[in-house]
Structure 1
Amino acid sequence: MSNVSQHLLSGALSGFASTIILQPFDLLKTRIQQPDHLNKLKHSPLSPQSTLIFRTARDIVNTDGFRGLWRGTAASLLRNVPGVALYFTGLNQFRAFLATAPYFAPLRAPTASYSSSTLPKLTAQGNLLAGAVTRVAVGFVLNPFSVLKARYESSYYSYNSLPQAFMGIMRSGPSEIFRGAIASSLRDAPYAGIFVVFYEHIKGTLSRTVSSTSNSTTIPIPISTSTAVNSVSAAAAGALATLATQPFDVLKTKMQVRSETKYRGLLSTVLAIWRQRGIPGFFDGATLRMSRKIFSSAIGWAVYEGVLIAIRSP
């Protein structure tokens, strides 16, 4: 199996696993972000956001049953499986390219025996650039599927079939096909860049910690330990990157789900949210997105790098 095929397969399996397990988080996040106003909530010992999450989940289960929490899974798989596969493959290829430049190559190569990664090593600047450029490029190409995913998860649209919904979006022209693409790019570029920087830094620190506790300097980290290191590193990096980019996720969802004129442009969407909800409006669904990203990052990167390590093991 070629190097590119290995990364495509690992990325596809990663996207499939995280999507199937975590679809309810995406569904609830979309439902919470779609309205203009949050309902007035009665006093509760829980925070209003947590109360709203439970209310939304309860309403979905009451209406559509427990399986209703997985509404839009097919659309999510259509977006995430090729999206994650292309992202991981493109990220690896771009990082390998940047590693040939002295400016982006690390001054000191990591100890191979204790590396928990199969990926090229770069400086922080290289990781920031590689993550941002790759994520935006893949997101732009697959934006029609992102629109389809958001609308399938929304309660504002009722589609009879996935092909019908997709063809409807495609027939609407570029204005619908690339709806929310700018907001997605503003979210994805800093998210991916920040994520890769923190992921590699945390992973390197944890790997050195593991190696320092070993009595041998020649035995590599076991796959189980490597998986744990990758999962913890990805979860921590995902939390930090999510918090920094949440407002752009709200903008993307509004622009892709709502059809009103005020949500047609980026600036008009910003103003609409500001007038209706103020600063808290830009963090609607933050709890769900944070939870989803922590788990999806941990599962996704552990599966991706774990499959690569397993494939390449003698």
Structure 2
Amino acid sequence: MAEEIDYESLPPNAGLAVNMLAGALAGISEHAVMFPVDSIKTRMQVFATSPVAVYSGVGNAFSRISSTEGMRALWRGVSSVVLGAGPAHAVHFGTLEAVKELAGGNEAGNQWAAHSLAGASATIASDALMNPFDVIKQRMQVHKSEFQSVLTCARVVFRNEGLGAFYVSYPTTLAISIPFNAIQFTVYEQVKRFINPRREYSPTTHITAGAIAGGVAAGVTTPLDVAKTMLQTRGTAQDADIRNVKGMLDAFRIIWQRDGVRGFGRGLTPRILTIMPSTALCWLSYEFFKAAIRSD
């Protein structure tokens, strides 16, 4: 019988291509599976003027969208995620492993600073690539979206709003993603080492650590995510203030004026419901693909 691969004992510097390919496959798996819940989160975060587009909870949103628009509406925009997630996650995980190795994160002991630096660095690189795809995705997810294809959406947004529309939310995205990924990666590494101190290959460890890390990071960064959604969907708004929102602070002001503290928690439940299993699946897929590719 062939000797079982001890994943955690494999050399951490197995190559950039391995980490990037594993990250791309993990990213596509993560986003595709949980996309309908992400669509509900986007709908709940949008400050709609029509009562038809206002949802009181995840169950209410799911029932109303599926019954009035059909189940396909919950998948509208998934092609944008698939197109962007592969390359973006390849860059993310490639940068993550490279910086972790350079910063000494693979050495014994509690290397939380190296893990945080690696997570933040990976985010800056991957979000620059993913941000336009995320804008297109949310424009396709909103209630009564006029867009049915990624190319049509990209062309119309560029024609009507210019290139800046694809990056108006980038500073806010980084304000979310840098702490999100730093928190997620740090919590993931610490939980993984705590529940699996022998560092043996353990899918259960990757699932558990990934879910806990994702849930913590999602909860902390939800207020920023509400602002990001406002910026990325501003072109679909009828309200003049929202349509002309300029940046993160401007979005915060409008959220506070319209909904107070409660507004910053819009979409919290579906965001956590999306991210916990997504990050669990992402880390499980990433660790699996990395081990499988290295073993070939």
TM-score, length of structure 2 as denominator length: 0.85
Alignment match, 2:176: 187
Q: Is the 8 A contact 2:172 2:248 kept in 1?
A: yes
Distance in 2 of aligned mates of 1:64 and 1:38:
16
- The corresponding residue for 1:284 is 266
Q: Is the 8 A contact 1:37 1:277 kept in 2?
A: no
Instruction: Decide whether the 8 Å contact of 1:251 with 1:270 is kept in 2.
Output: yes
Using the alignment, how far apart are the partners of 2:178 and 2:20 within structure 1?
A: 21
CA distance in 1, matches of 2:272, 2:50: 19
Kindly state the Cα deviation for residue 105 of structure 1 after the two structures are TM-superposed: 6.7
Bigger Rg, structure 1 or 2: 1
Query: Hey, what's the Cα distance between the residues in 1 that align with 2:287 and 2:220?
Result: 25
Indicate conservation of the 8 Å contact 2:42/2:142, yes or no. Answer: yes
Q: Which of residues 123, 131, 138 in structure 1 aligns to 2:119?
A: 131
Aligned residues: 275
Partner of 1:144: 132
Would you say the 8 A contact 1:33–1:250 is kept in 2?
A: yes
Provide the residue aligned with 1:274 in structure 2: 256
What is the identity percentage for the equivalent residue pairs of Structure 1 and Structure 2? 28
Correspondence list, 1:19-58, <5 A:
19-36=31-48, 51-58=56-63
Structure 2 unaligned blocks of 5 or more = 1-13
Q: 2:76 touches 2:148 (CA, 8 Å); kept in 1?
A: no
- Could you say what the CA RMSD is over the residues aligned between the two structures, in angstroms? 2.3
Deviation for aligned residue 1:199 = 0.5
Partner of 1:69: 74
Distance 2:154 2:50 in 1: 29
Structure 1, unmatched stretches of 5+, are 41-47, 111-121, 212-219
Sort the Cα spacing of 1:126 and 1:96 in 2 relative to 1 into closer, same or farther, 3 A. Answer: same
Structure 1 position 35, deviation (Å): 1.8
Tell me, yes or no, if the aligned pair for 1:37 and 1:276 is still in contact at 8 Å. no
User: Which residue of the partner structure matches residue 240 of structure 1?
Assistant: 216
User: Residues 296 and 273 (structure 1 numbering): CA distance in 2 closer, same or farther, change over 3 Å?
Assistant: same
**Aligned match of 2:143:** 155
Letter in 2 for 1:33: Q
- Report how far residue 275 of structure 1 moved: 0.8
Distance 1:38 1:241 in 2: 32
- Which residue identity is paired with 1:257? T
1:150 to partner: Cα distance: 1.2
Q: 2:3 — aligned with what?
A: none
CA positional deviation for 1:163: 1.1
CA deviation digits over 1:49-99, x for unaligned, max 9? 8x5222221121112322322121111212222222221111111212222
